[in-house]
Amino acid sequence: MSRELPQGAEENGRNLPLDAHLHTDLSPDSDVPIDVYAALALENGISELAITDHVDFDKRDPAYDYTSFEQRERTVRDAAERWAPRGVLIRFGAELTFNRSWEGDLRAHLGRHRYDFTIGSVHDWPDSPYVPTRARTWASGRSLGDALAPYLAEITAAAGSGLFDTIGHLDVVRRYLHASFTAGEIFGAVELFDPALRALVESGTALEVNTSGYRHPSGEAYPGPPLVARYRELGGRRVTAGSDSHRAHHFAWGLEAGYRVLAEAGFTALTFRRGADRTAIGIPDRLRRPRDADGST
Ligand SMILES: [Zn+2]
Ligand SMILES: [Zn+2]
């Protein structure tokens, strides 16, 4: 099946300032030692990496207590020291799975531990209807709004919590519902995501463009371009971008296309945090849309 993919969607990004979402072998679903990413970053001209291994709060999740905070911090900080002299900057981050039922535990974790950069994501939760074995049956006969509702309730709470620097793969629910609703149907009802996008704007949380979507059947980043544009329309100004790589060959995969989605929506920089410092990282000129003839972009 041929898909129309944006330029850079089917290749590893090169000469980009930041990949802000990466899983190493400190996540149960990745097998990549941190030095492999660092070497690839050096080779491909990716200047800065955020290592964002999974932190989960549901005891049944494979990532629950898979590693300790101390082990993750030591591994990432040691690698940062080894690679900084060679020009690769490595930040200690985490991707924390959000659910309202364990929000208290998550808040306590972030109160005890300091990260350079945090991503809040909604994945699975007890009784979630989006597990592959039952999502299709569950969604059949439901309207799009009803099928999205349980996910939107969680992601809107995550966005409004103020706990995170950015929200990961905001419309990843498309992946769970792909047998029931097309990306086009979901993008045609973009206003269903307004509460989540407004919560981001109000809490000052960034929107991540996650390019793992280019590896999935729908062939769009998470979130897709209509949601990125809508976020900006609603006043959103903070964005990040990451490949969400779990394998060496996915390092910075589609990342250039992800940057283009942001540039296309009118963003000129990413908002990143390096511990105490929040910083703007410019989107390279070559990816920015040409200025309108009257200069009013
Ligand atoms: Zn995730
Ligand atoms: Zn991830």
Residue type for 230, please?
A: R
From the CA of 213, how far away is ligand 1's center (Å)? 11
Q: What are phi and psi of 222, to 5 degrees?
A: -105, 115
From the CA of 277, how far away is ligand 1's center (Å)? 24
What gap in Å lies between CA 89 and CA 77, rounded to an integer?
Answer: 10
Does 2 have pLDDT greater than 90?
no
Residue type for 60, please?
A: R
What gap in Å lies between CA 49 and CA 35, rounded to an integer?
Answer: 12
pLDDT confidence of 3, banded at 50, 70, 90? low
DSSP 143: -
Q: Which helix (H) or strand (E) holds 261?
A: helix 255-264
Phi-psi label, residue 194: left if phi above 0, alpha if psi -120 to 50, beta otherwise? alpha
Query: How does pLDDT run across 55-77, given as a tens digit for each residue?
Result: 999 988 888 989 999 999 999 99
Question: 49 has which bridge partners?
Answer: 19, 90
Q: Which ligand is nearest to the CA of 123?
A: 1
Phi-psi label, residue 141: left if phi above 0, alpha if psi -120 to 50, beta otherwise? left
From the CA of 233, how far away is ligand 1's center (Å)? 25
pTM of the model: 0.95
From the CA of 23, how far away is ligand 1's center (Å)? 10
Phi-psi label, residue 215: left if phi above 0, alpha if psi -120 to 50, beta otherwise? alpha
DSSP 3-state of 57: coil
Question: 208 has which bridge partners?
Answer: 240
Residue type for 210, please?
A: N
From the CA of 85, how far away is ligand 2's center (Å)? 27
From the CA of 288, how far away is ligand 1's center (Å)? 27
Query: How does pLDDT run across 64-122, given as a tens digit for each residue?
Result: 989 999 999 999 999 999 999 999 999 999 999 999 999 999 999 999 999 999 999 99
Nearest to 44 by CA among 288, 250, 247, 210: 250
What gap in Å lies between CA 114 and CA 75, rounded to an integer?
Answer: 15
From the CA of 4, how far away is ligand 1's center (Å)? 25
From the CA of 241, how far away is ligand 2's center (Å)? 12
Q: What are phi and psi of 94, to 5 degrees?
A: -155, 150
From the CA of 242, how far away is ligand 2's center (Å)? 9
From the CA of 144, how far away is ligand 1's center (Å)? 22
